[in-house]
């Protein structure tokens, strides 16, 4: 049981953190001011979302006050024939006056504290079943996607907020780390076909509650409910926002089962293991089979296929044609879908080496949605850095970092950009910060090892790679970086051992030949290196699109054969 220290209202829901009346933090304590038989009440916003109708249908309404139904029968038993409206009228009047006072006090106090940014945390799964994590995580992911459509609101993306899953919610700390003004958290519980969702939105600067709501629905209402929540959040902040908000309520599908499969696909993709990414492909395929007009599911299918060769879980020739077909299908259904243009550009640059079309697709994605921070990042990483436009590339990547200050991929790309333009100390500073933040992440290990090798601090680089290989003996990135560092340190036997590892792996999985070429180049064995690069050209290895600036290829750049390969990559002048 909790009590508000300001208004003394008691709460029997121990999960609430803030008073629904005045926003003060609740304290643990016994109830004295009110009885457990009192009805739960809520002051509803006068401009409630149209989608709130299912919620309002379950409650007894006056103009501004809702008396929530209870299971204990009549709250005020009265003699037969007594008209309860006579009793409720003065209560309603008092509630209207109090509601107007608190609403005026909050919004006027907040005028000078405009909410320009928000983080939606992963919802807490109260179902007691890990198999329903896709619902709790997916609901947060969908809200993030919808809110990001607002032109004047910065929304922390899923990749940044997932680190807080299962951890204690310290709103002020999270807001500081993610550089946001407000934090939304929620809880979800599923029992059979019944779904209970509770949400609260808190201004992290004042620690005041902006809004809280409970939704008791059926699973079949999940799709409509997430749209309703996003619309309501927008309305609660309507005095602080402006611009086109159609993306908030856009219907990507009307098929609830397809939507749940979409959520499962997003949940599996986020895990990034080979098995989970293959599983996500199947979920997205099932979703579009149920709803052939589900453009966003096609776009996410393209994203998964396009990502897999980088790890590598599939060969480029297995993955990229599928990625392109899915992106083109998404655009056939919805030409305004920014994500589909982004993932089409990804294929056009990395696999087709069609640089002009790739840049056009990236620019179209950003024209359609300037808040598509993934497009900003990928445009900088995939196109601009690869074509030598380093300063422009860093600028675009930092646009992505504004939304994802804790994103490992974006951070290491900034370090890589600093490295390829010769700013080794700056690169080292960024790489160390990322490694300290995520010491076991393959990208943080890759970047720090690369910087240390470039700075000829070979023993340190080798130590990172050897620990990496202990943790993941078959990591193709770890084998490449260890082999490269060994070769640079003059340890030929160990470098050749890494090449032998690649040969063994190639018997059971696809191996990127460009990575073997990197080790041969560092050993000074140019003929062997170019033989592997020919294989990489034929296979259209993921690494080939950035060959022009790739640090691993420096030992080969003065060879005429290298310039001939760059010509075959169709790089823009």
Q: Do residues 244 and 309 share a domain?
A: no
Q: Is the peptide bond before 513 cis (omega within 30 degrees of 0)?
A: no
> Is the distance from CB of 461 to CB of 449 less than 8 angstroms?
yes
Q: Do residues 74 and 53 share a domain?
A: yes
Can you tell me the mean pLDDT for 265-276? Answer: 88
User: Helix or strand or coil: residue 220?
Assistant: helix
Q: Do residues 295 and 211 share a domain?
A: no
More confident residue, 284 or 147: 284
Mean pLDDT of the chain: 81
Alpha helices in 351-438 (DSSP H): 355-368, 373-378, 390-403, 408-420, 424-437
**What pLDDT is stored for residue 403 in this prediction?**
67
The pair of structure tokens assigned to 366 is 């950003």
User: Helix or strand or coil: residue 267?
Assistant: helix
337, 369, 401 — which closes off a domain?
Answer: 369
**What pLDDT is stored for residue 17 in this prediction?**
62
In sequence order, the β-bridge partners of residue 218 are 194
Confidence of residue 29 (pLDDT cuts 50, 70, 90): low
Q: Is 129 exposed, middle or buried (0-12, 13-18, 19+ CB in 10 A)?
A: exposed
Q: Do residues 237 and 166 share a domain?
A: yes
Q: Do residues 96 and 165 share a domain?
A: no
More confident residue, 68 or 418: 418
Q: Do residues 277 and 348 share a domain?
A: yes
H or E element in which residue 201 lies: strand 194-203
How many domains does the chain divide into?
3
> Is the distance from CB of 396 to CB of 403 less than 8 angstroms?
no
pLDDT in tens, 339-365: 999 999 999 999 999 999 999 999 999
On whether the pTM is more than 0.85, the answer is no
> Is the distance from CB of 556 to CB of 547 less than 8 angstroms?
no
Lowest mean pLDDT among 98-112, 122-136, 377-391, 462-476: 98-112
Q: Do residues 234 and 309 share a domain?
A: no
Q: Is residue 557 domain-resident?
A: no
200, 225, 251 — which closes off a domain?
Answer: 251
Q: Do residues 104 and 121 share a domain?
A: no
Domain of residue 22 covers: 2-110
H or E element in which residue 187 lies: strand 182-191
Q: Do residues 267 and 364 share a domain?
A: yes
Confidence of residue 217 (pLDDT cuts 50, 70, 90): confident
Nearest to 186 by CA among 155, 215, 154, 218: 215
45, 75, 110 — which closes off a domain?
Answer: 110
Confidence of residue 147 (pLDDT cuts 50, 70, 90): confident
Q: Which of 53-67, 229-243, 367-381 has the highest mean pLDDT?
A: 367-381
> Is the distance from CB of 514 to CB of 539 less than 8 angstroms?
no
Can you tell me the mean pLDDT for 157-180? Answer: 83
More confident residue, 466 or 78: 466
Interatomic CA distance for residues 307 and 373, integer angstroms: 17
Can you tell me the mean pLDDT for 195-210? Answer: 88
Q: Do residues 129 and 71 share a domain?
A: no
Q: What percent of the chain has pLDDT over 70?
A: 78
**What pLDDT is stored for residue 149 in this prediction?**
74
Q: Is residue 429 domain-resident?
A: no
**pLDDT > 60? residue 493:** yes
**What pLDDT is stored for residue 36 in this prediction?**
41
Q: For the beta carbon of residue 421, count every other beta carbon within 10 angstroms.
A: 17
> How do strand 41-43 and strand 65-67 relate by DSSP bridges?
antiparallel
Q: Is residue 215 domain-resident?
A: yes
């Amino acid at each position: 049981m909790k009590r508000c220290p300001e208004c003394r209202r008691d709460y029997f829901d121990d999960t609430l953190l803030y008073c629904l009346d005045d926003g003060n933090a609740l304290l643990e304590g016994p109830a004295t001011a009110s009885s457990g038989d009192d009805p739960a009440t809520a002051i509803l916003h006068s401009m409630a979302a149209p989608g709130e109708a299912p919620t309002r249908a379950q409650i007894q309404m006056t103009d501004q006050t809702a008396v929530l139904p209870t299971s204990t029968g009549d709250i005020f038993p009265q003699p037969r024939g007594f008209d309860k409206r006579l009793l409720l009228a003065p209560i309603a009047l008092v509630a209207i006056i109090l509601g107007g006072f608190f609403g005026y006090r909050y919004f006027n106090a907040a005028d000078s504290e405009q909410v320009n940014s928000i983080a939606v945390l992963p919802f807490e799964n109260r179902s007691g079943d890990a198999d329903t994590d896709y619902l709790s995580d997916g609901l947060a992911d969908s809200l993030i996607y919808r809110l990001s459509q607002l032109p004047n609101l910065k929304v922390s993306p899923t990749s940044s907020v997932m680190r807080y899953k299962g951890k204690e919610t310290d709103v002020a700390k999270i807001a500081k780390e993610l550089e946001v003004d407000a934090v939304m958290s929620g809880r979800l519980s599923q029992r059979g076909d019944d779904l209970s969702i509770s949400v609260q939105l808190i201004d992290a600067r004042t620690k005041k509650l902006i809004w809280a709501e409970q939704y008791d629905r059926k699973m079949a209402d999940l799709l409509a409910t997430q749209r309703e929540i996003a619309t309501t959040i927008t309305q609660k902040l309507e005095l602080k926002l402006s611009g086109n908000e159609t993306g908030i309520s856009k219907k990507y599908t009307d098929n609830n089962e397809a939507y749940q499969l979409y959520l499962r696909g997003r949940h599996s993709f986020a895990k990034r293991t080979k098995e989970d990414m293959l599983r996500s492909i199947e979920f997205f395929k099932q979703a579009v089979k149920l709803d052939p007009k589900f453009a966003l599911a096609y776009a996410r299918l393209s994203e998964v296929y396009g990502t897999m060769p980088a790890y590598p879980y599939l060969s480029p020739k297995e993955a990229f044609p599928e990625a392109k077909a899915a992106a083109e299908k998404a655009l056939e259904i919805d030409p305004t879908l920014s994500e589909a243009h982004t993932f089409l550009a990804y294929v056009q640059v990395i696999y087709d080496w069609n640089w002009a079309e790739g840049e056009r697709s990236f620019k179209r994605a950003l024209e359609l949605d300037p808040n598509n921070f993934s497009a900003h990042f990928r445009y900088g990483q995939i196109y601009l850095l690869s074509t030598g436009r380093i300063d422009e590339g860093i600028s675009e990547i930092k646009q992505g970092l504004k939304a994802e200050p804790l994103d490992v991929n974006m951070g290491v790309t900034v370090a890589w950009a600093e490295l390829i333009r010769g700013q080794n100390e700056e690169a080292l500073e960024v790489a160390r910060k990322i490694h300290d933040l995520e010491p076991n992440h393959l990208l943080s290990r890759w970047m720090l090892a690369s910087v240390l090798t470039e700075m000829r601090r070979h023993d340190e680089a080798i130590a990172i790679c050897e620990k990496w290989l202990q943790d993941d003996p078959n990591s193709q990135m770890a084998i490449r970086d260890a082999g490269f560092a060994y070769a640079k340190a003059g340890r030929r036997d160990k470098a050749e051992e890494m090449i032998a590892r690649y040969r063994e792996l190639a018997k059971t999985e696809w191996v990127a030949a460009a990575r073997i070429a990197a080790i041969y180049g560092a050993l000074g064995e140019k003929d062997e290196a170019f033989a592997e690069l020919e294989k990489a050209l034929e296979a259209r290895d993921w690494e080939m699109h950035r060959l022009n600036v790739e640090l691993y290829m420096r030992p080969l750049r003065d060879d005429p054969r290298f310039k001939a390969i760059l010509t075959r990559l169709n790089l823009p002048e």
